[in-house]
Chains A and B, each alone.
Chain A
Amino acid sequence: MSARLVEAAYPEGRPRPEIEAHTMAEPLIELRAVTKRFPGMKALDSVDFQIFPAEIVCLAGENGSGKSTLIKIVSGVYDFDEGEVLINGKPVADFGPRAAIAAGIQVIYQDFSLFPSLTVAENLALNRLLSEGKTFVDPKRRRQLGAEALARLDVTIDLEATVGTLSTADRQIVAIARALMSDTRLLIMDEPTTALTGREVDRLFSIVREIQVKGIAVLFVSHKMREMLEISERITVFRNGRKVEEGPTAEFNEARITRAMTGHDIGHERHVWVGDATTAPRLSVRNLSVGEAVRNVNLDLHKGEIVGLSGLLGSGRTELAMALFGMEPHSGEIRLDGVPLRLSSVQDAVGAGIAYVPEDRLSEGLFMQQPIARNVIASAINRVTRGLFLDRDRLNALAEQTVSDMRIATPDIEKHAGQLSGGNQQRVVIGRWLLTNPKVLILNGPTVGVDVGSKAEIHRPELIQNCNRILLMHRGEIVDCMDAQSVEEDDIHGRLKGLR
């Protein structure tokens, strides 16, 4: 069900602008031997970095590699301990947020920093009105400023709509339009594609290319290598606070980026299932329908088998998964080890031995303010009780066991889940479900927001590497079944494209 990967439409051989032209120009911003220390670690270690006018640069690196620190230094949010920042070739003594904005550097944060209750027009106009230091607001002028901002990107969004009612993609466009209202020369986008669908990513990229034509440089941070390769002209890879590789995008491919990010080759060996498909299936689904979203789906899952379910957004893959977890009303028959199940609630599903790792760790999976130990044990609390009370020793032992089994990188189990990186958080959620001894484990989009290194360690990351069979869904039906041994990733993309 790693739909994101599949959705990221592969570029159709778009010509890349030549990068050589930039080497003649003066860099817009240049970092020379910049070092940033945090207590106990070097977040950036003597980094040289340049951005030239009108180029698109991608920052790659795992969580904690120094990407975010670099962005914060370029945008003036962080001070640094050593080195210097040059704007247009001239050193800037006290480079702070004001200096960055004065130099035309704008950041679009992942949360967009918009005002959901205010209108599109007001969101767009606020910056300008504020910088003009006016006391009174003229609604006509506010509208006019908003209209101009959207016209610059050649998009139409209802100016009087409240931002809270817009889709994520539209909100992002409002944020971009707002950032471009001032005299912007460099636009920094922090993981801009995380919440977008394939088509929305295409639209974003075409907007980014238009921005570039206007002479504005764009600095991208992304986890998705296809996207980096598609949009950028130059890729800079960070690892442990150091710049480890840099060069024109044409010289990179996924394997090279991965190697640079992790420092070693990620195993591409595929999961091989040694099981017997002739035995009775563990999970058997017959004529399952969920309203109009899923229609008459039949599915067999054998013991130890991993089946990938793929399809575009809205193909019914999520609804099918939710139905199997008792969260969507459905019709049809579901049998587990031959026993028919009635799954009308999550409790039914958990009781039957079905576990589910949600797509959105933050809102569905974890208690961020609680220690890892409690998070891990949350679904298997019965295993650590003694009478009415919790058996602390047993709880901690189980939690320690899970942390080491799942290779969760943490100094101790009392750390809050919110302090872990995305990949480790996910391992906590998976570890929690494994403690319930599930018979069927459903992972919905398991690698969303997780970087490459973590992906390879979560043992069931991407479809091909880990699945035995890949089922393709379209308009609520399973339309294709592929043997994972023989299929290539581009095949899936091709078939998905064919379905559009």
Chain B
Amino acid sequence: MTAVSKLLRRSEAAVLAILIVVMIVIGVINPAFWQADNLFNLLRANVVIGIMALSVLTVMISGGIDVSFPAFAVAAMYLTVIAMNAAGYQGVVLPFIGATLIGLVCGLANAFFIHTFRMIPLIVTLGSASVVRGLLLGLVGTSIINIDRMPPSLIAFGSSTVDIGGSKLSLMIFIYIGIALLMWLFLTRTMAGRAVFAYGDDAESAKRVGFNTRRTVYLVYGLAGALAGFAGLLHSSMIWLANPRDFVGYELDVIAAVVLGGASIFGGRGSVFGTILGVFMLTLIKNSLIIMRIDNTWQGVVVGCVIVIATALTAWRDRKALV
């Protein structure tokens, strides 16, 4: 066991411990929490944020930050649904490939600016997010595609479930788990994945050792865009709705979840397992706020606090570890 994974494991273990405590407390207050229906609902709420978190995790390990994924997700989702309606196409695989590709192209554009002009990722992704959202609303349309106009194939796909003890578990969970497994394999078991860690740790050294840092930057942001595009269409399939103004405020939730999962904002550290825990924690918090009938506006306060506290903790941990 490495010292890094020890450390991460420690923060993962901490998240896990807090998670269990929170769940027990919620269970005591409201025994309905432990019902399979509620838990399955909770898991279902993890899927889209979770896939987006995995994309942001990769970017953060590389030492960057991405705030453009909600915009890319919206663009990929809305364009795909509109194209499906225009063509009268009823299918699932091709639309998802299309949405993923749209996200990929957007992500590669981010990579182009970040690598070619050595720009700060925050500025690039802020800018590209604004441009993509603006173009979508300005050129494509502003009207929400409701359930009556949503492609039935997507609705059928998004609502597919498996029956476990009389409760329905969304099959989308397995897509999330599958993507998480692939991301774990990529980050820990491939040279390209290790390159992301090396680049985030020390870009100059990564270059000296012989990593192709250009390829790494393109891979990281391309992958982030592709996952965002995929998650966008998945989200729309699950809520039977395509809203071109969707995903507002997701940046904060997702980044909070990733940081909560122990990834370092300085790059070089982070894990898939931690991120999954972070996502679950965040979803749980928001979910229980709703159950406790706390006003929606307070969710922002809570998520903001979570991001600041979690970042402070990881920053403190990183500094301690490096001394």
Contacts and interface: CB of A to CB of B under 8 A. Distances in A.
B4 A137 contact: no
Interface string A101-140: 0000000010101111111001000110111001111000
A197 interface: no
Interface string B186-204: 0011111110011011101
Contact of A131 (B189, B202, B210, B264): B210
A164 B321 contact: yes
A160 B191 contact: no
B29 interface: no
Nearest to A178: B209
Contact of A165 (B3, B190, B205): B3
Contact size range, B: 20 to 34
Given A113-B205, A129-B191, A119 B3 contact: yes
Nearest to A129: B191
B316 to A, nearest CB: 15
Contacts of A131: 210
Nearest to A137: B189
A190 to B, nearest CB: 13
A126 B321 contact: no
A410 interface: no
Contacts of A164: 321-322
Nearest to B211: A130
A212 interface: no
A137 B268 CA distance: 17
B191 A134 contact: yes
Contacts of B296: none
A116 B1 contact: no
B269 interface: yes
B191 A113 contact: no
Contacts of A165: 3, 321-322
Contact of A115 (B3, B197, B264, B321): B197
A162 interface: yes
Nearest to A121: B2
**Main SS of chain A's interface residues?**
loop
A116 B268 contact: yes
A161 interface: yes
A414 B248 CA distance: 47
Query: Which residue of B4, B189, B269 has the most chain A CB atoms within 10 A of its CB atom?
Result: B4
Contacts of A113: 202, 204-205, 208-209
Query: Which residue of A117, A130, A137 has the most chain B CB atoms within 10 A of its CB atom?
Result: A117
A158 B194 CA distance: 20
B191 A115 contact: no
A270 B2 CA distance: 54
A165 B2 CA distance: 11
A446 B200 CA distance: 35
Contacts of B190: 135-137
A135 B185 CA distance: 12
A122 B191 CA distance: 11
**Main SS of chain B's interface residues?**
helix
Nearest to B193: A137
A368 B133 CA distance: 41
Interface string B36-73: 00000000000000000000000000000000000000
A122 B197 CA distance: 11
B268 A117 contact: yes
A147 B201 CA distance: 23
A160 B194 contact: no
Contacts of A137: 188-191, 193-194
Contacts of B268: 115-118
Contacts of B211: 130
A113 B204 CA distance: 8
Contacts of B205: 111, 113-115
Nearest to B266: A117
B189 A116 contact: no
Interface string A363-406: 00000000000000000000000000000000000000000000
Nearest to A109: B208
Contacts of A118: 4, 194, 197-198, 201, 268
Contacts of B191: 129-130, 134-137
Nearest to B268: A117
Contact of A117 (B4, B189, B192, B208): B4
A117 B269 contact: yes
Nearest to B200: A117
A116 B322 contact: yes
25 contacts: A113-B204, A113-B205, A113-B209, A115-B197, A115-B205, A115-B206, A117-B200, A117-B264, A117-B269, A119-B2, A122-B194, A126-B198, A129-B191, A130-B191, A130-B209, A131-B210, A134-B191, A137-B188, A137-B189, A137-B193, A160-B1, A160-B2, A164-B321, A164-B322, A165-B3
Interface of A: 109, 111, 113-119, 122, 126-127, 129-131, 134-137, 158, 160-162, 164-165
Across the A-B interface, give the 8 residue pairs with the lowest CB-CB distance, nearest first: A117-B268, A113-B205, A162-B3, A115-B201, A160-B2, A119-B2, A117-B201, A164-B322
Given A109-B208, A130-B210, A137-B189, 15 more contacts: A116-B268, A117-B200, A118-B197, A118-B201, A119-B3, A122-B194, A126-B194, A126-B209, A135-B192, A136-B189, A137-B194, A161-B3, A162-B3, A162-B4, A162-B7
